[in-house]
């Protein structure tokens, strides 16, 4: 290697490393913590308390390596933003080192140095990965995938079969398989090239050593899936049809890949907030990338042609790296989870693309050194320019708090603490961030699993059992304040509302029946239940078993009716419908009528579709999303007879009640006229609800509003 060239490249590399450290410090100052970062940090805190989750809370994929590492860091340095961000920074530098060795193994030391320089001052998306985004093992899996490619390249270059190398490769692939299914691209490439090297691969002990090592290091993944009906494959294993795959393939090549070449700058995470380089630089950079990669194909054509004969004879690393690129794009296009801005799912191409580009530049250097230096300078200028655009975005507080949805939470935290509120509900993007920022002095939960609706939510049981809670809304995250207030009006009761910067906080809730904790359950020993459909099964609603149900067995339609004679007059304020395991068969619309004599009926409660709506439970509003029960709560009335009428319809689902339970206050003042019910609650038509587009019938009294 030319010494002058090596010194120049190493000098640029040192500058790049300093740049990465400066960029990390800048992001630490300007970019607040996100829930994606806080989530593994919270798991780390709970690991220190004895919990050992093998996948992320509330989902069925992504191994918890990050949390185990952060648990050690938190035990040493405490739970802070910096503690969380050491992990991605460490993997950013590890990826840098592994990429050098992979480039050197595939070609030579000079190509390795050029690769280092390209990655030291990286495309903005990779720079983000070294700060915090995306977390959740994506850069870690890409780094492990690069290690797997390095091991594969050495195995196929060797003249003899090396059992330890096969075992190590299997261990790396298996461990990464637990971390994320993103490793599948590397598994396909590794197995393919091992087969091309040895057509009798399946008969070799080395292959079975690899397979055994894979199974051992991926055991946490298999244990979780064995005990959860292989939920990972159901949740993230979906594949698009061929028309969708072709469309996504085109999107990957024409759009998503630009985040990795530096032509397009994503301003945060994987979302639609991105900008492009100035047009002249954008098109010049595109021409350089395309030209250099075409050059690689041209100079490697004869060697690549031998792959058509299933032979690796006289091939270099180009075939392995091109295969990695092609398979990564194919997997991205085929997955149902991929979208145009989901660049994290295309991250494996970073194991190959910079090295291929570095190899093309190196070949140019053999023919025209001045051209090499000019092109290298343009690429580095473009990458620096992109990172400057990214830094400018992060330096804009309005942009960070607004479009990037990372507002300053300090005023909100102070308000909640001053109000004595220690538990709250908020959108995912706020909830875990607030919980980590306060080190669980404030526990905030999603009201339901907003990403995997049938999976449990961490902290939900704690918040739902709390005596004093708040609902935190944000203009662009989850349900809007006006829509939430409309839902509240639909179920009645009172509350307080306070505006804090971009947040609206609802708190001091009181149901229309007063404090629910004072209600008692009405005994069912004298009840008689009848139903307009399947009357013979009506007693199953009150048999004390949630696994025996009354069901209409026909699609829901208006007019279906259940009537209860309690055998005596009772004060009534809440009806609870237990759904058992058939959570989808809830009422699509309800009208509750009460009577003292089975002749004169008065309406106590009306509501539209409760799905994505609210009901009262434990003196706080609760969403019905994959829930096992819901309630109808109203101002206390005297009743002996209760008539529940279905007012909605659903062509797919029937109406099911597993258990029917009534609650009322210990005592209520008797009405003057014993033959009539008190005045029914006023009915008001609610606006069309944005969250789910449901309609409600509202009743009750709105809360007070303050602004800070």
Domains of the chain (ranges; CATH) run 3-30+80-397 (no CATH), 410-510 (no CATH), 516-700 (2.60.120.260)
Query: CA-based angle 511:517:518, to the nearest 5?
Result: 95
Q: Determine how β-strand 704-707 pairs with β-strand 494-500.
A: parallel
pLDDT at 5 over 50: yes
Angle between helices 35-47 and 428-437 (to 10 degrees): 50
Cβ–Cβ under 8 Å, residues 349 and 257: yes
Is the predicted pLDDT of residue 373 greater than 90, yes or no? yes
State the alpha helices, DSSP H only, in 158-300.
163-179, 184-197, 205-217, 219-227, 231-236, 242-251, 258-261, 279-299
* Angle at CA of residue 474, ends 471 and 477, nearest 5°: 105
Report how far residue 708's alpha carbon sits from residue 302's, in angstroms, rounded to the nearest whole number.
71
Q: Look-up: residue for tokens 């959740």?
A: 136
- For every residue of 643-654, which 3-state class applies, written as one string? EEEECCCECCCC
Pairing verdict, β 520-521 and 659-664 = antiparallel
pLDDT at 484: 94
Residues in the chain: 708
Give 707's pLDDT tier (boundaries 50, 70, 90). very low
Tens-place pLDDT, residues 88-133: 999 999 999 999 999 999 999 999 999 999 999 899 999 999 887 7
CA 653 to chain centre: 29
For tokens 């969250």, name the residue. Answer: 691
Q: Decide if 74 contacts 82 (C-beta within 8 A).
A: no
Residue owning tokens 């909640």: 416
Burial 64-73 (b: 16+ CB within 10 A, else e): bbbbebbbeb
Q: How confident is the model at residue 145 (pLDDT cuts 50, 70, 90)?
A: very high
**pTM above the 0.85 mark?**
yes
Q: Where are the alpha helices (DSSP H) in 439-480?
A: 460-464
* CA distance linking residue 62 with residue 80, whole number of Å: 23
Q: Are 66 and 178 in contact (CB under 8 A)?
A: no
Q: Which percentage of the chain shows pLDDT scores above 90?
A: 74
Tell me which of 695 and 282 has the higher pLDDT: 282
- Distances from the Cα of 391 to the Cα of 88, 125, 142, 260, angstroms: 18, 12, 24, 17
| Residue among 434, 431, 427, 402 at smallest CA distance from 481 | 427
Q: Is 79 exposed, middle or buried (0-12, 13-18, 19+ CB in 10 A)?
A: buried
Running DSSP on this structure, what letter comes out for residue 282? H
Backbone angles phi and psi of 295, in degrees to 5: -60, -40
Confidence band (pLDDT; 50, 70, 90) for 393? very high
pLDDT tens, 591-624?
999 999 999 999 999 988 776 689 999 999 999 8
pLDDT digits (tens, 9 = 90+) for 633-668: 999 999 999 999 999 999 999 999 999 999 999 864
Q: Could you tell me which of 475, 631, 653 has the C-alpha nearest to residue 554?
A: 653
**Nearest 5°: phi and psi at 566?**
-80, -5
Burial of 228 (0-12, 13-18, 19+ CB in 10 A): middle
> For residue 554, is pLDDT > 80?
yes
Tokens for 193? 């090239």
Split at pLDDT 50, 70, 90, the class of 155 is: very high
CA pseudo-torsion sign 140, 143, 147, 153: positive
Of 231, 292, 212, which Cα lies nearest the Cα of 62? Answer: 231
Average pLDDT along the chain: 89
d(CA 550, CA 565): 17
Distance between CA atoms of residues 144 and 102, nearest Å: 12
Picking from 34, 143, 70, the residue whose alpha carbon sits closest to that of residue 434 is: 34
Three-class secondary structure of residue 572 per DSSP: strand
Q: What is the pLDDT of residue 1?
A: 63
Phi and psi, residue 697, nearest 5°: -105, 125
Region 557-568 average pLDDT = 95
Cα(356)–Cα(317) distance, integer angstroms: 9
């Amino acid at each position: 290697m030319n010494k002058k060239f090596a010194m120049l490249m190493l000098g640029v590399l040192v500058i790049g490393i300093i740049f990465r450290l400066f960029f990390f410090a800048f992001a630490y100052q300007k970019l607040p913590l996100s829930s994606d970062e806080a989530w593994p940090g919270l798991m780390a805190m709970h690991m220190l308390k004895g919990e050992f989750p093998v996948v992320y809370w509330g989902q069925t994929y992504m191994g918890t390596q990050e949390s185990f590492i952060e648990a050690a860091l938190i035990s040493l340095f405490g739970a802070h933003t910096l503690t969380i961000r050491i992990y991605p920074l460490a993997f950013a530098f590890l990826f840098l080192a592994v990429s050098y060795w992979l480039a050197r193994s595939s070609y030579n030391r000079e190509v390795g140095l050029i690769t280092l320089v390209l990655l030291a001052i990286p495309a903005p998306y990779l720079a983000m990965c070294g700060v915090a985004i995306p977390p959740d093992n994506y850069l870690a899996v890409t780094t492990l995938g690069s290690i797997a490619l390095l091991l594969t390249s050495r195995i196929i270059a060797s003249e003899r079969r090396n059992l330890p190398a096969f075992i190590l490769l299997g261990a790396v692939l298996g461990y990464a398989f637990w971390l994320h299914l993103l490793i599948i691209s590397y598994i396909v490439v590794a197995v393919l090239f091992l087969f091309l090297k040895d057509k009798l691969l399946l008969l070799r002990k080395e292959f079975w050593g690899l397979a055994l090592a894979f199974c051992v290091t991926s055991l946490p993944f298999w244990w979780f899936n064995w005990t959860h009906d292989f939920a990972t494959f159901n949740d993230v294993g979906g594949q698009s049809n061929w028309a969708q795959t072709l469309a996504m393939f085109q999107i990957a090549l024409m759009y998503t890949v630009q985040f990795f070449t530096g032509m397009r700058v994503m301003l945060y995470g994987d979302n639609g907030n991105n900008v492009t380089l100035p047009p002249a630089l954008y098109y010049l950079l595109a021409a350089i990338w395309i030209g250099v990669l075409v050059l690689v194909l041209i100079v490697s054509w004869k060697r690549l042609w031998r792959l058509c004969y299933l032979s690796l004879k006289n091939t270099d690393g180009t075939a392995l790296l091109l295969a990695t690129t092609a398979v990564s794009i194919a997997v991205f296009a085929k997955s149902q989870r991929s979208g145009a801005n989901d660049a994290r799912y295309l991250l494996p191409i970073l194991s190959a693309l910079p090295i291929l580009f570095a190899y093309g530049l190196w070949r140019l250097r053999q023919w025209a050194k001045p051209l090499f230096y000019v092109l290298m300078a343009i690429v580095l200028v473009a990458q620096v320019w992109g990172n400057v655009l990214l830094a400018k975005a992060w330096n804009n507080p309005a942009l960070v708090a607004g479009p990037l949805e990372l507002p300053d939470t300090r005023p909100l935290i102070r308000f909640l603490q001053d109000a004595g509120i220690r538990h709250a509900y908020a959108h995912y993007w706020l909830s875990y961030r607030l919980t980590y920022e306060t080190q669980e002095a404030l526990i905030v939960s999603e009201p339901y699993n907003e990403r995997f609706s049938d999976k449990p939510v961490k902290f939900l049981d704690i918040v739902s059992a709390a005596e004093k809670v708040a609902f935190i809304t944000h203009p662009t995250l989850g349900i809007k304040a006006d829509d939430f207030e409309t839902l509240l009006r639909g179920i009645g009761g009172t509350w307080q509302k306070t505006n804090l910067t971009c947040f609206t906080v609802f708190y001091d809730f009181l149901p229309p029946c007063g404090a629910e904790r004072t209600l008692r359950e009405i005994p069912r020993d004298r009840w008689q239940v009848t139903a307009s459909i399947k009357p013979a099964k009506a007693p199953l609603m009150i048999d004390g078993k949630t696994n025996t149900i009354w069901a209409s067995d026909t699609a829901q339609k208006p007019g279906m009716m259940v009537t209860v004679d309690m055998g005596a007059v009772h004060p009534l304020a809440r009806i609870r419908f237990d759904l058992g395991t058939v959570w989808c068969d809830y009422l699509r619309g309800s009208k509750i009528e009460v009577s003292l004599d089975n002749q004169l009926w008065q309406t106590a409660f009306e509501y539209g579709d409760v799905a994505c709506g609210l009901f009262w439970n434990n003196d706080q509003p609760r969403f019905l999303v994959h829930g096992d029960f819901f309630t109808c709560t109203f101002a206390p009335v005297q009743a002996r007879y209760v008539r529940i009428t279905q007012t909605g319809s659903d062509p797919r689902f029937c109406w099911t009640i597993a258990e029917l339970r009534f609650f009322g206050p210990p005592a209520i003042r008797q009405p003057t006229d014993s033959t009539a019910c008190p005045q029914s609650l006023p009915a008001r038509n609610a606006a069309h609800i944005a969250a789910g587009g449901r309609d409600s019938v509202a009743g009750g009294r709105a809360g007070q509003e303050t602004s800070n």
